[in-house]
Structure 1
């Protein structure tokens, strides 16, 4: 199968959300919770925080699965004392339009986006970057967020697309310097995208063996 890879920074995690990988997802979430709130912390104080973090991660990955995403990528370590408020969904879509020119599809996407769209190349393939401001209601927050979506054509496989969407939360000002810095950080991760053909997908048991107990 054709798939894409990203270079994930240290302190970030890749949580699979594909059907059939529920055990791996649960194990990964538990590893994140233990890393963030180790067992050495007092149970009465750390317990509520563990439950909240576990619920947030479970809700995020459940929603990603409902949207057909293959994985969620998110930072779990603080940077300069701040937890980075963002998550990214990774998907591979097949639209069935094998005869359609990918650049024509991207041109249509960019036309709809207007000034919030940008044409570029990723991994040597044509792509589009779309910026959107998401109001607080749909994301159940008190403040809006910045959402960036990338559409990347697969090489030699018309109709196959990588779709990467990341959302960065704000305190109210989506143009604030900290928000823009986090957007740039996610952009840098997306810039590492590389397509790979004939990917040998490991089994869930093989992947579980790589996750700390």
Structure 2
């Protein structure tokens, strides 16, 4: 599945959204993920000072590829199909944020009702509210997640998830778009909140595409 074409012949067949300046995307499908990562690496390397020694550029390129490939593997293991993240530096630093669009989740068993599923998911994941995205009702869930035990991450992350029902699907199906940021290390700070607001603004541009 790509951004333009969902895995199965459903209605809608895909989606579009507008990224902030300086952001890029990685297609997480195994056959194209390396090409997607390399494209972002090249884009980031183009920002380096022109007088930087070639050996240093090679080291930066290799390290950046490893970091992005690691992020892609993590997102893929979480059922992701597209990973979006900043690749251009702001005041010398990369913005500590990203979001993942997951493969569609489909409820095929008897007795499932879309509203019940959405309410159940929302109750498990944090504070929720109903939102309208591209003319349809979805669910927005927000929570603060502590750093994983035993990891190198020191700060909690602030996460926002949009769960959107797929219009026209023969079975109740949903697309999950999950944003995560550590911000400046303070989940409720002005900077962290600004990054959350940026993601919410991106979601106002989300549109289903039809072929």
* Deviation digits for residues 70-116 of structure 1 (CA, Å, limit 9, x no counterpart): 111112223465531101111231323387443332233334446x1
Gap change, CA 1:74 and 1:23, over 3 Å in 2: closer
TM-score (norm. length: structure 1): 0.80
Gap change, CA 1:147 and 1:105, over 3 Å in 2: same
Corresponding position of 1:208:
none
Corresponding position of 1:209:
none
Gap change, CA 1:97 and 1:176, over 3 Å in 2: same
Corresponding position of 1:120:
131
Matches within 5 A, 1:196-211: 196-198=209-211
For residue 65 of structure 1, the aligned residue among 73, 76, 80 is: 76
For residue 24 of structure 1, the aligned residue among 8, 26, 35 is: 35
Corresponding position of 1:155:
167
Work out whether residues 184 and 191 of structure 2, in 8 Å CA contact, stay in contact via their aligned partners in 1: no
Q: Secondary structure at the match of 2:46?
A: helix
Corresponding position of 2:152:
140
- Shifted more, 144-153 versus 22-31: the winner is 22-31
Corresponding position of 2:63:
52
Greater share of helix: 1
**How many angstroms does 1:135 deviate by?**
1.1
Number of aligned residue pairs = 197
TM-score (norm. length: structure 2): 0.81
CA distance in 1: counterparts of 2:107 and 2:71, whole angstroms: 28
Corresponding position of 1:190:
203
**How many angstroms does 1:122 deviate by?**
0.7
Work out whether residues 44 and 88 of structure 2, in 8 Å CA contact, stay in contact via their aligned partners in 1: no
Corresponding position of 1:106:
118
Matched, 1:74 2:85: yes
Specify every segment of 5 or more residues in structure 1 that has no aligned partner in the other structure, as ranges: 199-213
CA distance in 1: counterparts of 2:109 and 2:206, whole angstroms: 22
Work out whether residues 17 and 206 of structure 2, in 8 Å CA contact, stay in contact via their aligned partners in 1: yes
Q: What is the CA RMSD across the aligned residues, in angstroms?
A: 2.4
Specify every segment of 5 or more residues in structure 2 that has no aligned partner in the other structure, as ranges: 1-8
- Shifted more, 1-10 versus 96-105: the winner is 96-105
Gap change, CA 1:113 and 1:34, over 3 Å in 2: closer
Matched, 1:8 2:19: yes
